[in-house]
């Protein structure tokens, strides 16, 4: 079999047939499902976390400093530095509207200039999570500040403003490991080096999100 790819190097939407589905667990945020999938001449079972998707924000000020928030993450038992982010937990809200809301809720900031920075898939071998990271500039504090409406690990979110070049060093040194931070920081540095010429508009299409949703693999809020 020829294992040299001769086509374009870009992700391709081409799902194999699913002949059986079993929900194993229904959680507060995501579900776990087992799918029976036909791949070539084989029928295999694949478990997946059915995720609602999420957004993140690289908020960059006029001094090329970005905002990081220190937040506890229980699965890894660690406090991680990460950009403001949140779940797409309702179909009534666009990705951009969600990002605007999260920036206010988690940082007490609003931005006047928005672009799509990067789209990525968090662990696509096991979860359907789609993630869109925005670049937000033209920042200002909202008059009322952060609302402090969160609880538990969201109740206290210390902020750190870090220069973009320093943030890249922290990522490459393994001192920042949250995927929103690593992807967003490196993407922002690359975009700046290209004079911000390749940025997409904030309302740019999100084809992979639409595709994953069409497959029935996006967790929707319980009725």
Choice among 3, 10, 153, 154 that is catalytic: 154
Q: What are the angstrom distances between the C-alpha of 134 and each of 41, 55, 87, 190?
A: 41, 8, 14, 14
Strand order in the sheet with 200-201: 85-87, 54-59, 130-141, 109-121, 200-201
- Concerning whether 154 is annotated as a catalytic residue, the answer is yes
Closest CA to 54 of 151, 178, 214, 142: 178
Q: Following DSSP, what letter does each residue of 63-126 receive, concatenated?
A: TSEEEEEEEEEGGGTEEEEE--EEE---TTS-HHHHHHHHHHHHHSEEEEEEEEEEEEESSTTT
Active-site amino acid positions: 154
């Amino acid at each position: 079999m020829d294992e040299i790819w001769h086509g374009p190097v870009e992700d391709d939407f081409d799902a194999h047939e699913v002949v059986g589905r079993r929900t194993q667990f229904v959680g507060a945020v995501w579900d776990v499902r087992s799918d029976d999938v036909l791949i070539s001449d084989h029928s295999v079972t694949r478990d997946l976390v059915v995720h609602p998707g999420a957004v993140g924000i690289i908020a960059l000020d006029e001094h090329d400093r970005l905002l990081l928030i220190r937040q506890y993450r229980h699965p890894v038992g660690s406090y991680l530095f990460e950009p403001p982010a949140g779940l797409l937990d309702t179909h009534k809200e666009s990705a951009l509207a969600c990002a605007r809301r999260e920036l206010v809720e988690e940082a007490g900031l609003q931005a006047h200039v928005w672009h799509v920075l990067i789209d990525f898939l968090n662990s696509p071998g096991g979860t359907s999570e789609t993630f869109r990271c925005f670049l937000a500039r033209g920042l200002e504090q909202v008059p009322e500040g952060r609302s402090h409406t969160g609880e538990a690990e969201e109740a206290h979110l210390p902020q750190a403003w870090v220069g973009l070049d320093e943030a890249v060093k922290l990522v490459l040194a393994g001192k920042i490991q949250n995927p929103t931070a690593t992807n967003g920081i490196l993407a922002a540095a690359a975009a700046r080096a290209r004079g911000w010429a390749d940025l997409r508009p904030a309302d740019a299409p999100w084809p992979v999100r639409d595709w994953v949703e069409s497959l029935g693999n996006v967790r929707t809020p319980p009725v």
